[in-house]
Amino acid sequence: MIEVMKIADRLIGKSQVPFIIAEMSGNHNQSLERALEIVEAAAGSGVHALKIQTYTPDTMTIDLDEREFHISDPKSLWSGTSLYKLYGEAYTPWEWHKPIFERARDLGMIAFSTPFDDTAVDFLESLDVPCYKIASFENTDLPLIRRVAATGKPLIISTGMATVAELDETVRVARDAGCKDLILLKCTSTYPSTAENTNILTIPHIRKLFGCEVGLSDHTLGLGVSVASVALGAAVIEKHFTLNRADGGVDSTFSMEPNEMAQLVAETERAWQALGQVSYGPTEAEKKSLQYRRSLYIVQDMEAGDVLTKDNVRAIRPGLGLPPKYLDVMLGKSLRYDVIKGTALTWEIIS
């Protein structure tokens, strides 16, 4: 059975309000001032955590603008550039990490990052991050996962592109290396993703298969997929975040703006509140409404001895008379005493 886990001082699990992560990624557009504005906007939208990414172009790839190192897919947001140049535009300078984390913590958010190699893990350890995230493209990098898991801190892993066999190997390596608190995020590694390609029914299957907390790293546009995932047990939602998509940026196209993120926080919490438990019968809040059910009423002035017929007895609101299921039983019965129109039909008034 999965127990509630903690990241920093926050409880994470199905019994808790969904944990919402705003991913800054490269939307700072190489401006520390803008990065700090994104932090403040994220806090203002009510998210619980802010995440960045820790790498340099040289820790990600090599400086070649040819062959497989050049993005030529015309459908890609980054078509026409090299991997090295893309990461040069998107990376967050390491000297920015401390002020970003400090601003986030000052504003009540949990701040952490995605490392992409051992040097990034060492650096983030020096900043005492409370947890780590592994990106989908690194979820089969077992040496990296082993290194991160060895910190003993909670580990969030996106599942994009990974087969069940690959995820099984990843989870085993993480746990064997010391990871006790694990969250797997269902993820589709296309940018943006489409709803029909998201397959969030996988979320409860992941929970059952790996016995860990689950969530969604959502690259779709809008709120619908994230809100639906909460109904399937997602305890964590991650969404890319920017100040304004019109400002541009490497991930701006599929990033949420502050008012949208605030809606996400509110609607995922509302979806979580609606889950409740398996329940039949009136809730406490509904009990006062029982009086407005239909029930049997005398609808004409009648005298003692008169016979009940479909003309003088009807099933109407409110619900203070006998239930409608007794209509056929009552028809043909006579009255014990005089009654006026609008009298609730009860066993006591028939002879």
What pLDDT was estimated at residue 2? 63
What pLDDT was estimated at residue 4? 80
Q: What is the pLDDT of residues 214-240, one digit of tens each?
A: 999 999 999 999 999 999 999 999 999
Q: Contact, 145 vs 137, CB < 8 A?
A: no
Distance of CA 295 to the CA centre of its chain: 43
Is 80 exceeded by the pLDDT of residue 3? no
Q: What is the mean pLDDT of residues 63-74?
A: 88
| Secondary structure class of 47 (helix, strand, coil) | coil
To the nearest whole percent, how much of the chain has pLDDT over 90? 90
Domains and CATH numbers, the chain: 9-55+91-275 (3.20.20.70), 287-349 (3.90.1210.10)
pLDDT confidence tier of residue 1, bands split at 50, 70 and 90: low
Q: What is the mean pLDDT of residues 64-84?
A: 86
| Secondary structure class of 10 (helix, strand, coil) | strand
pTM over 0.85: yes
Q: What is the pLDDT of residues 38-53, one digit of tens each?
A: 999 999 999 999 999 9
Q: What is the pLDDT of residues 151-187, one digit of tens each?
A: 999 999 999 999 999 999 999 999 999 999 999 999 9
| Secondary structure class of 96 (helix, strand, coil) | helix
What pLDDT was estimated at residue 71? 86
Q: Contact, 27 vs 241, CB < 8 A?
A: yes
Q: Contact, 212 vs 193, CB < 8 A?
A: no
Rounded to the nearest integer, the mean pLDDT of the chain is 96
Q: Which residue has the higher pLDDT, 175 or 81?
A: 175
φ, ψ dihedrals at 207, nearest 5°:
-60, -45
Token digits of residue 214: 């689950």
